[in-house]
Amino acid sequence: MEITIVVLAKSKTPQGYNIIGINLAINQLVRLVSDEDTPLNFEDIFYPNEIPTEKFDVVQIEITENQDLWYQPENLVVDTEYYFLYVRQATWNDIMYALHAPDFILNNISCKLSKNDIQNWNGNKSIELILASEVNLKMDNIKLSCNIKYNEHWYNNLSLTDDKLIKYYVDVLLERENVTLENVLVVVGLEGGEDGSFYKVVDNIIHIPTTKISY
């Protein structure tokens, strides 16, 4: 099956690349995985001209199935026999149509979910695109920490997953104590931890025309 997506987030993991996007046919968030239930390899995300897929590309991809795992219902298995095909660059409309407005980011105000939290959650998700009223970034010892204010609740000490985004903000913070973004889009996902919990992580921070930045 062929679908067209906007690439919203792209991050490198020890197993490969985590790709999150918007299925433009239904304006729903999806996560792309390989048929081995792992992130995609680097060669899996190339175009025919051997240029890799980047954030905010609109691409056509071949899907073999909806994996629909209990903790990641958005997973789509990519047919890696086919190249990704570049269509165009994303527009704001492409992105904003998929914006979520839940009461809480991923079910509750905690920064992690247990297995029971997920299994008892009506409308289970493992990815959300939200408009945060405030995002504060600072260095916590040697680690970049992200705090999100959404719907009057703070979600503190979240980790970023995108190496390029981490480097960008670490460089900005070399001469500043913190960076505050107001009115900014955030892609938040769930990542399994060694303790069996699922932690909320920041997969991308997207500035929009009304985003305000202060230091």
Mean of all residue pLDDT scores within the chain: 94
Range 2-95 classified under CATH 3.30.450: no
Give residue-wise pLDDT tens across range 24-72.
999 999 999 988 767 899 999 999 999 999 999 999 999 999 988 889 9
Report whether 132 contacts 62 (CB < 8 A). Answer: no
pLDDT attached to residue 180:
98
Nearest alpha-carbon partner for 62 in 35, 38, 82: 82
d(CA 163, CA 185): 18
The answer to whether residue 14 scores a pLDDT higher than 90 is no
pLDDT attached to residue 161:
95
What Cα–Cα distance (Å) separates residue 119 from each residue in 41, 72, 73, 113?
30, 11, 12, 10
Give the model's confidence band at 203: pLDDT under 50 very low, under 70 low, under 90 confident, else very high: very high
Range(s) within the chain of domains with CATH label 2.40.50: 2-95
